[in-house]
Chains A and B, each alone.
Chain A
Amino acid sequence: MRRSLLFIPGNNPAMLQNADVFGADGIILDLEDAVTVAEKDAARELVKEYLNTWEFGATEVMVRVNGLSSGWLGDDLDAVLGDKLTAIVYPKADLASLRELDRILSELERRKGLAKRIGVVPIVESATGVVETDAIATFPRVGGILLGGEDFTADMEIVRTREGAELAYPRAKIAIACRAAGIDAIDTPFADVADAAALERDARVAKSLGFGGKAVIHPNQIEIVNRVFAPDVTELRWARRVVAAAADARKKGLGASSLDGKMIDRPVELRAAKILERAAACGLGGPDDEE
């Protein structure tokens, strides 16, 4: 589940060592926009060291690398690629750069003898990126797409507003493409850290379009985002019934179980179990929440 992804500046030890405490589903260790040019090398060493030594528990760990044109991409990937990392977050993505990224990653994976292929979460934050969204969503390695509202509006030379009407089309396009490709759609961060009500509104707009989560830039935003994108009551009820039906079938020694006329196969059962687990982690599904 990727309801909330917290950006953590890669050159900040105090934040790196607390990154996993805030209950974000995933953290994005940032080597790109959060790090000044003069500190790119130091940030790289810090993130590399944390990846090698830290126990991140249930939190997913990703790294936003610098883009192809920066000249730092190769060093970034060489430093951070390893088994702890679940995805590379690639900025200002388009098909051309993704192809090159895929080539570099395959080479590095081979050279390092890595067990699994690392995923990529491209950030669609340009006009070209939006145009190529359908192809990006089905590109190999791509497990999700993150919308970058600030850079998108800058590329479009339009105004970035609080209510976000200008993002309606890219949001819809990304959400639909991701649904069709079976990958995660993650909404753009909300910049005003002090305005919780506006954050919630913005998150609900994204959810209503089909996004499964939202990037956040401050730990205080996580609670609201997790809540908005948490399994809702309908999902919870469904998940409980699935798990109960599956357990019942096992007790009776039956091979398969069904619910409402539909068979419950293993992935469905696992998904239901995950929903209950995540709900519990959100503090939902307990005695206080019984209606």
Chain B
Amino acid sequence: MKNDLGRDVPEGFRPFRGADASTTEPHRLIPAKPAVEKTVFSVSLSDVFDRLGIRDGMTLSFHHHLRDGDFVINMVGAECARRGLKDLTFAPSSVFPCHAPLVPLIESGTITGLVTNYMNGPVADAVAAGKLKRIAIMDTHGGRARAIESGDLPIDVAFLAVPRVDRQGNGTGCEGRSACGSLGYAVPDAAYARRVVLVTDEIADAVAKPELDGRFVDIVLEVPSIGDPKGIVSGTTRLTRDPVGLKIARDTATLLLRIGALRDGFSMQTGAGGTSLAVVPYVRRIMVERGLKARFASGGITAQYVEMLESGLVRTLKDVQCFDLDAVRSRRENAAHEGISASEYGNPFFAPAPVVDLLDFVILGATEIDLGFNVNVTTDSLGRIIGGSGGHADTAHGAKTTIVTTNLVKARLPIVMERVTTVTTPGEDVDVIVTERGIAVNPKRPDILARLEGSGLNVVPIAELMAIAHRMTGVPVRPASRGRIVAAVRYRDGTVIDVVRQTGR
């Protein structure tokens, strides 16, 4: 079966029919988790497994706020393997290279299903190589919340790493030696999983601003350490220092000004690092020059945004994830630095509207873009899984203007192509592509084209961007993917927008 973008849809999945198709559908909600009689405290993971009766075929979920420093997922995986459990579905909101120990579990059939929003490293390679028995599902951040609330992703047990928990089972991400800040991706799990386990390495008498309510926590498991703090703030969120990336960032800020996106009270979000984050200092300079203030900045929060909040340039931060210790500190200390759940952030059915719908603009990255403005952030051009939507498709849909910043050519490979290897975000939601050699505007946005006239920016049709790249690099051969489907890329409404096929090795 094919979907509206002409991409394959596996058996048993619903096809993508456009970014707004879901808005007319009724949104069903499964019952929220009821309160527990009494929160149990344990120091043995095995004990937790016994108490909860964890058995074959269950779905276990996790959040990724400890990023590449997480210990919890591997810990739970090891216990599953030790018990000889089979056919489990693991649903971590993201998977990082530190989760390599899950690969033997995938190979042995302990884990046969995977649901996640982003994956990188040995687990991603194993999925792409076809080692996972069932088709993996890749959601967006907002889509995962939707899936949990609607029952599309039914969770038996949520194992939620929490840096500090009090004696009533209330949990916070802002305190403790493994502090990681906002626990936005844990909230839907905590509200809808059949059973909830908070895994912590610090039990305290009291917790200042709990994000997770102890009344709904079945078990608190205390372990020596939930993660490595260095890994928690690991390298993803550096601004680029590449002069080409900085030129792109500077042009993007100029473009934002020209199209009227930088007015007093605007709202913004950028990607977590690289070129898109590098736009922030240039926007900041314009804001200072013109006396502009932003209503809010959202998404993954970094030190750059904390600085703007503290200088009064931004009124509020809506934080679904902290990317560095500065963000953690600010989240803890500053009331204007709010935590939001994954659902409030990007769930298309969040009432009255998710935060992404309030954005004036978002700056995103891409591994590939095609002539239809479809964007790939899931695979590289060889079809290997190197990421996933995260909040990409959510913000692209919600924001008034969606801008993708990218080098036109990376190591001889043109980023603009006829047809992307994998569609993560549909072209209807992508408005502008900014590269170092030219800017392309989606024909759906004649208003943007009009405002860019006379700007001195090199605006060209997207086909011309591809031609410019080809004149430099030559026309690449695009290997066709022929293997079996290993992953379904699920759009935020639960339909399948594309698939990932096994990469032959």
Stretch from A14-22, A31-39, A82-90, A252-260 forming part of the interface with B: A14-22
Q: Is the interface of A mostly helix, strand, loop or mixed?
A: loop
Contact of B437 among A21, A219, A288 (CB under 8 A): A21
Contact pattern, A 267-291, Cβ under 8 Å of B = 1, otherwise 0: 0000000000000111100101000
Any chain A CB within 8 A of the CB of B456? yes
Any chain A CB within 8 A of the CB of B206? no
Given known contacts A220-B246, A281-B456, A282-B456, is B254 in contact with A21 (CB within 8 Å)? no
Contacts of A288 in B (CB 8 A): 257-258
Contact of A280 among B244, B250, B437, B456 (CB under 8 A): B456
Contacts of A22 in B (CB 8 A): 243, 247
> Known pairs A18-B244, A219-B243, A283-B456. 4 more at Cβ < 8 A?
A22-B243, A219-B247, A280-B456, A282-B456
Contacts of A280 in B (CB 8 A): 454, 456
Q: Chain B nearest CB: distance from A88 CB in Å? A: 26
Q: Chain A nearest CB: distance from B113 CB in Å? A: 43
Any chain B CB within 8 A of the CB of A23? yes
Say yes or no: B243 contacts A286, CB within 8 Å: no
Residue of A nearest to B471 (CB): A55
Number of A-B contacts (CB under 8 A): 32
Say yes or no: B456 contacts A21, CB within 8 Å: no
Any chain B CB within 8 A of the CB of A218? yes
Any chain A CB within 8 A of the CB of B455? yes
Say yes or no: B246 contacts A17, CB within 8 Å: no
Per the 8 Å Cβ criterion, residues 455-504 of B in contact with A are 455-456, 471-472
Residue of B nearest to A55 (CB): B471
Q: Chain A nearest CB: distance from B209 CB in Å? A: 39
Q: Is the interface of B mostly helix, strand, loop or mixed?
A: helix
Say yes or no: B254 contacts A283, CB within 8 Å: yes
Any chain A CB within 8 A of the CB of B436? yes
Across chains A and B, which 3 residue pairs bring their CB atoms closest together, nearest first?
Answer: A219-B243, A21-B436, A283-B456
Say yes or no: B247 contacts A23, CB within 8 Å: yes
A288 to B256 CA separation, bound complex (whole angstroms):
12
Total interface residues in chain B, CB < 8 Å: 15
Any chain B CB within 8 A of the CB of A223? yes
A280 to B247 CA separation, bound complex (whole angstroms):
17
Contact pattern, B 232-251, Cβ under 8 Å of A = 1, otherwise 0: 00000000000110110010
Residue of B nearest to A284 (CB): B456
Say yes or no: B436 contacts A18, CB within 8 Å: yes
Query: Can you offer 16 A-B residue contacts whose CB atoms are under 8 A?
Result: A18-B243, A18-B244, A18-B436, A21-B247, A23-B247, A218-B243, A219-B244, A220-B243, A220-B246, A223-B250, A280-B454, A281-B456, A283-B254, A283-B455, A286-B454, A286-B456
Residue of B nearest to A282 (CB): B456
Contacts of B254 in A (CB 8 A): 283
A17 to B455 CA separation, bound complex (whole angstroms):
25
Q: Chain B nearest CB: distance from A190 CB in Å? A: 16
Q: Chain A nearest CB: distance from B138 CB in Å? A: 33
Say yes or no: B455 contacts A286, CB within 8 Å: yes
Contact pattern, A 196-222, Cβ under 8 Å of B = 1, otherwise 0: 000000000000000000000011100
A281 to B251 CA separation, bound complex (whole angstroms):
12
Contacts of B436 in A (CB 8 A): 18, 21
Residue of B nearest to A219 (CB): B243
A219 to B246 CA separation, bound complex (whole angstroms):
9
Contact pattern, A 48-86, Cβ under 8 Å of B = 1, otherwise 0: 000000010000000000000000000000000000000
Contacts of B455 in A (CB 8 A): 283, 286
Contact pattern, B 368-402, Cβ under 8 Å of A = 1, otherwise 0: 00000000000000000000000000000000000
Q: Chain B nearest CB: distance from A224 CB in Å? A: 12
Q: Chain B nearest CB: distance from A137 CB in Å? A: 33
Contacts of B244 in A (CB 8 A): 18, 21, 219
A280 to B455 CA separation, bound complex (whole angstroms):
7
A283 to B254 CA separation, bound complex (whole angstroms):
9
Contacts of B456 in A (CB 8 A): 280-283, 286
Q: Chain A nearest CB: distance from B246 CB in Å? A: 6
A280 to B456 CA separation, bound complex (whole angstroms):
6
Residue of B nearest to A283 (CB): B456
A192 to B22 CA separation, bound complex (whole angstroms):
55
A17 to B244 CA separation, bound complex (whole angstroms):
11
Residue of A nearest to B457 (CB): A283
Q: Chain B nearest CB: distance from A11 CB in Å? A: 18
Residue of B nearest to A23 (CB): B247
Contacts of B454 in A (CB 8 A): 280, 286
Q: Chain B nearest CB: distance from A55 CB in Å? A: 7
Per the 8 Å Cβ criterion, residues 250-279 of B in contact with A are 250, 254, 257-258
